[in-house]
């Protein structure tokens, strides 16, 4: 295989989650007529996410929940992804996300975190949240009726109401469990609930056949005791979710909101659909189901002057990626780009992998800092601060992964999202925010550098 066979792009993004999508969109937005390609192996992990956009809910020391996440950014330790890009870039990344999301998301009106109830009855500090959850914020002191379904055991409404009360929510919550009209199987997928309401399918009730929306409103209405808002698990439609909520709200005479659920997540699916529609509108070429299996690199001699400057600053080992190879149904297809962005996820997404003796990044074999003794990768306390939670690539301020000597691995490679180390996204409630901020910065800087070399 020769490099002359490769398809040429300005920027090639590897990874189709939130970080990869944001990187590709930012690159396409940065320069006119940008040639941007996104390749992804597996289905996006967004389908397993809550759909909430958290920036920083808790400090690395566990302080929180934070009212204003931006107040805490300046005190984050060296090496944290937010410290690498700076607080202004976090704001710019969120503003870019807001433009893409439009009225599908709320929260852009303030720097303060909102407290969004989740399916377990806890509240999550988050900076942006789907419009479908807006009427259910825990800061709202209006009483609420929470509705669960017998065939959807993942959400126990009475238990969630008890947990909200124990957490000190400033309102009274009451939970009921009902039968969902038209569904009798315990193994029905969440998409089945959504489809019934989307299409307003006819379902059988004791009063005869009626539309699913009316049937659900009648069933819930029999339990309503004057509460001004009603919360449902997040299954209220997909393509016509806003229409479904409006219909239920009108029928019940109460504001209707959704409570984010665990995987599979309809809000996550909706976010994925929103981002991939934006990628199509931006002219980003997306290829799914193709793992990157190989790459070729060379030195920076004769490369773009900006890359040569990086090599001079970073040392002689700052090679340049010439092309990558993807496996498409057994055929090896090369892709060449001026700039590359790695957004393949962390340990969960297998963008970072571990063996008994080492932790590594599997595509480019970038350095992942970790203790030599694997018993130092974790602590015995299951609720303690686990070192492995911070495993990932160490980037410079250009988000270029660094080798063990602190020099850039490659002159034209950046990384974004959970593949980066130096933070614990689960403990901090910062995963989506880091993906947005680092994806935005990596995408723009890669595109600007590629554009300068045209």
The answer to the question of residue 38 being in a domain is yes
Of 232, 259, 286, the one marking the end of a domain is: 259
DSSP percent split of the chain into helix, strand, coil, nearest 5: 35, 25, 45
- What sign does the dihedral 104-109-111-117 (CA atoms) show? negative
Q: How far is CA 22 from CA 16, 101, 196, 278, in A?
A: 9, 12, 32, 10
Q: What's the confidence (pLDDT) of residue 376?
A: 75
Note whether 389 and 427 are within 8 A (CB): yes
Q: What's the confidence (pLDDT) of residue 126?
A: 96
Considering the domain architecture, whether residues 419 and 288 belong to the same structural domain is answered as yes
Q: Per-10-residue mean pLDDT for the chain, 454 residues long?
A: 68 96 98 94 80 96 94 95 97 98 96 92 93 96 97 93 92 96 88 95 88 96 97 95 97 97 88 96 94 85 47 55 92 94 90 88 94 76 74 96 96 97 94 97 97 75
Which contacts of 112-117 are long-range, i.e. CB under 8 A and separated by 24 or more positions? 112/67, 112/68, 113/55, 113/57, 113/65, 113/66, 113/67, 113/68, 113/69, 114/139, 115/65, 115/139, 116/52, 116/260, 117/160, 117/164, 117/169, 117/231, 117/259
Dist CA 437 CA 423 (whole Å)? 14
Considering the domain architecture, whether residues 59 and 197 belong to the same structural domain is answered as no
The answer to the question of residue 114 being in a domain is no
CATH code, domain with 178: 3.40.50
Considering the domain architecture, whether residues 244 and 133 belong to the same structural domain is answered as yes
The answer to the question of residue 42 being in a domain is yes
Considering the domain architecture, whether residues 211 and 307 belong to the same structural domain is answered as no
Q: What's the confidence (pLDDT) of residue 423?
A: 95
Considering the domain architecture, whether residues 95 and 26 belong to the same structural domain is answered as yes
Q: How many residues does the chain have?
A: 454
Q: What's the confidence (pLDDT) of residue 397?
A: 96
Q: How far is CA 308 from CA 92, 312, 314, 402, 420, in A?
A: 29, 6, 10, 16, 24
Dist CA 190 CA 387 (whole Å)? 35
CATH code, domain with 307: 3.50.50.60
The count of structural domains within the chain is: 2
Dist CA 81 CA 396 (whole Å)? 10
Which contacts of 349-355 are long-range, i.e. CB under 8 A and separated by 24 or more positions? 349/17, 349/45, 349/418, 349/419, 351/15, 351/418, 351/419, 352/391, 352/392, 352/393, 352/419, 352/421, 354/388, 354/391
Considering the domain architecture, whether residues 360 and 383 belong to the same structural domain is answered as yes
Considering the domain architecture, whether residues 342 and 361 belong to the same structural domain is answered as yes
Q: What range does the domain containing 42 cover?
A: 3-103+269-452
Considering the domain architecture, whether residues 365 and 404 belong to the same structural domain is answered as yes
Angle (CA) 311 313 315, round 5°: 55
Of 224, 259, 294, the one marking the end of a domain is: 259
Q: What's the confidence (pLDDT) of residue 454?
A: 65
Dist CA 371 CA 156 (whole Å)? 42
Considering the domain architecture, whether residues 328 and 423 belong to the same structural domain is answered as yes
Considering the domain architecture, whether residues 150 and 13 belong to the same structural domain is answered as no
Question: Is residue 178 helix, strand or coil?
Answer: strand
Dist CA 259 CA 83 (whole Å)? 32
The answer to the question of residue 109 being in a domain is no
Of 259, 291, 309, the one marking the end of a domain is: 259
Q: How far is CA 334 from CA 255, 308, 321, in A?
A: 53, 24, 12
The answer to the question of residue 15 being in a domain is yes
The answer to the question of residue 131 being in a domain is yes
The answer to the question of residue 303 being in a domain is yes
Element (H, E) at 123: strand 123-126
Q: What's the confidence (pLDDT) of residue 307?
A: 47
- Quick one: three-class SS letters along 324-372? EEEEECCEEEEEEEEEEEECCCCCCCCCCEECCCCEECCCCCCCCCCCC
Gyration radius from the chain CA atoms: 24
Considering the domain architecture, whether residues 76 and 129 belong to the same structural domain is answered as no
The answer to the question of residue 108 being in a domain is no
What tens digit of pLDDT does each residue of 215-256 get? 999 999 999 999 999 999 999 999 999 999 999 999 999 999
Q: What's the confidence (pLDDT) of residue 243?
A: 97
Considering the domain architecture, whether residues 19 and 54 belong to the same structural domain is answered as yes
CA dihedral (193, 17, 76, 390) in degrees, to 10, reads 100
């Amino acid at each position: 295989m020769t490099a002359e066979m490769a398809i040429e792009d300005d920027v090639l993004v590897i990874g189709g989650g939130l970080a990869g999508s944001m990187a590709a969109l930012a690159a396409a937005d940065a320069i006119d007529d940008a040639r941007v390609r996104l390749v992804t192996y597996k289905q996006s992990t967004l389908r397993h996410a809550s759909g909430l956009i958290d920036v920083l809910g808790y400090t690395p020391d566990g302080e929180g929940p934070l009212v204003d996440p931006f107040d805490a950014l300046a005190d984050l330790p060296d090496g944290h992804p937010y410290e690498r890009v700076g607080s202004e870039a976090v704001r710019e990344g969120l503003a870019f996300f807001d433009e893409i999301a439009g009225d599908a998301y709320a929260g852009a009106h303030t720097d303060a975190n909102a407290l969004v109830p989740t399916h377990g009855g806890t509240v999550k500090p988050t900076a942006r949240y789907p419009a479908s959850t807006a009427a259910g914020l825990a800061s709202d002191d209006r009483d609420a009726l929470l509705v669960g379904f017998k065939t959807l055991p993942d959400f126990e409404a009475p238990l969630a109401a008890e947990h909200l009360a124990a957490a000190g929510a400033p309102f009274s919550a009451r939970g009921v469990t009902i039968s969902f009209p038209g569904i009798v199987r315990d193994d029905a997928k969440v998409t089945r609930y959504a489809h019934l309401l989307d299409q307003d399918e006819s379902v059988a009730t004791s009063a005869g056949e009626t539309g699913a929306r009316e049937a659900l409103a009648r069933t819930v209405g029999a339990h309503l005791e004057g509460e001004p808002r009603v919360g449902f698990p997040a299954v209220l439609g997909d393509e016509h979710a806003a229409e479904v909520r409006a219909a239920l709200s009108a029928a019940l005479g109460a504001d209707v909101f959704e409570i984010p659920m665990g995987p599979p997540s309809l809000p996550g699916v909706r976010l994925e659909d929103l981002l991939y529609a934006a990628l199509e509108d931006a002219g980003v070429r997306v290829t799914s189901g193709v793992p990157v299996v190989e790459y070729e690199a060379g030195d920076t001699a004769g490369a773009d002057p900006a890359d040569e400057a990086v090599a001079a600053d970073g040392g002689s080992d700052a090679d340049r990626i010439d092309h990558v190879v993807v496996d498409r149904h057994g055929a090896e297809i090369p892709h060449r780009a001026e700039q590359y962005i790695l957004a393949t996820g962390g340990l969960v997404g297998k963008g970072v992998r571990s063996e008994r003796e080492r932790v590594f990044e599997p595509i480019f074999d970038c350095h992942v800092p970790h203790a030599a003794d694997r018993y130092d990768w974790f602590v015995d306390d299951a609720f303690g601060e686990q070192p492995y939670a911070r495993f990932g690539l160490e980037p410079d301020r250009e988000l270029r992964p660094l080798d063990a000597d602190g020099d850039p691995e490659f002159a034209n490679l950046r990384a974004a999202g959970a593949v980066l180390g130096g933070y614990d996204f689960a403990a901090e409630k910062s995963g989506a925010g880091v993906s947005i901020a680092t994806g935005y910065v990596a995408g723009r800087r890669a595109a600007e550098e590629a554009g300068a070399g045209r």
